[in-house]
């Protein structure tokens, strides 16, 4: 039996509550405003040194890279985020997994726990970003 993939439009709760990409936009703004370019490049250089040399801002970072960036003490200190490093990076990793499931058309619906988690993360990022 053919099962059509669930598209973003099939997930009204997630789409309505989470404008596409808001988590990434807020992370990028925080990083662009607070983290030195050399630390962003160092994060990317771990997997691609050529690409790292071309980086000019945080727009090059994918959601998967943020846990690695904030896992670096110097980047975390530069960002000045009053968060527990372990819990914050774990939350970013979970968010990246959920985002990948959503964008790669996972047939599984987004559960209420995941929606509550994303709402909480987004609320936290809004406060950290300082732009409610």
- 82-98 tens-digit pLDDT: 999 899 999 999 998 88
Residues near 101 by beta carbon (within 8 Å), at least 6 away in sequence: 108, 110
Q: Burial of 15 by CB count in 10 Å (0-12 exposed, 13-18 middle, 19+ buried)? A: middle
- The Cα 27–Cα 35 span in angstroms is 11
Percent of the chain with pLDDT over 90: 29
Q: What is the pLDDT of residue 28?
A: 92
What is the per-residue pLDDT for 3?
Answer: 39
Say if CB 43 and CB 67 are below 8 A apart: no
pTM of the shown model: 0.76
Residue 42 has pLDDT above 60, yes or no: yes
105-126 tens-digit pLDDT:
666 777 888 888 888 999 999 9
Are 55 and 37 in contact, with CB atoms under 8 Å apart? Answer: yes
Residue 32 CB-half CA count within 13 A: 14
CA 20 → CA 8, 16, 130, distances in Å?
9, 9, 19
Instruction: Report the alpha-carbon distance of residue 68 to residue 88 in Å, rounded.
Output: 11
Residues near 114 by Cβ (< 8 Å), separated by ≥ 6?
A: 98
- Cβ distance 8 to 20 under 8 Å? yes
Residue bearing tokens 């990022």: 125
The greatest distance separating any two alpha carbons of the chain, rounded to the nearest whole angstrom, comes to 52
Q: Which of 5-9, 61-65, 106-110 has the highest mean pLDDT?
A: 61-65
């Amino acid at each position: 039996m053919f099962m059509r993939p669930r598209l973003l439009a099939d997930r009204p709760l997630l789409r309505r509550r989470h404008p596409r990409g808001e988590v990434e936009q807020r992370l990028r703004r925080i990083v662009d405003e607070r983290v030195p370019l050399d630390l962003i490049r160092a994060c990317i250089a771990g997997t691609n040194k050529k690409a790292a040399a071309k980086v000019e801002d945080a727009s090059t970072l994918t959601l998967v890279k943020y846990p690695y960036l904030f896992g670096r003490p110097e980047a975390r200190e530069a960002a000045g985020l009053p968060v527990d490093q372990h819990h914050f990076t774990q939350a970013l990793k979970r968010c990246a997994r959920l985002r990948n499931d959503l964008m790669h058309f996972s047939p599984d619906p987004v559960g209420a726990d995941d929606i509550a988690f994303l709402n909480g993360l987004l609320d936290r990022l809004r406060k950290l970003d300082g732009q409610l």
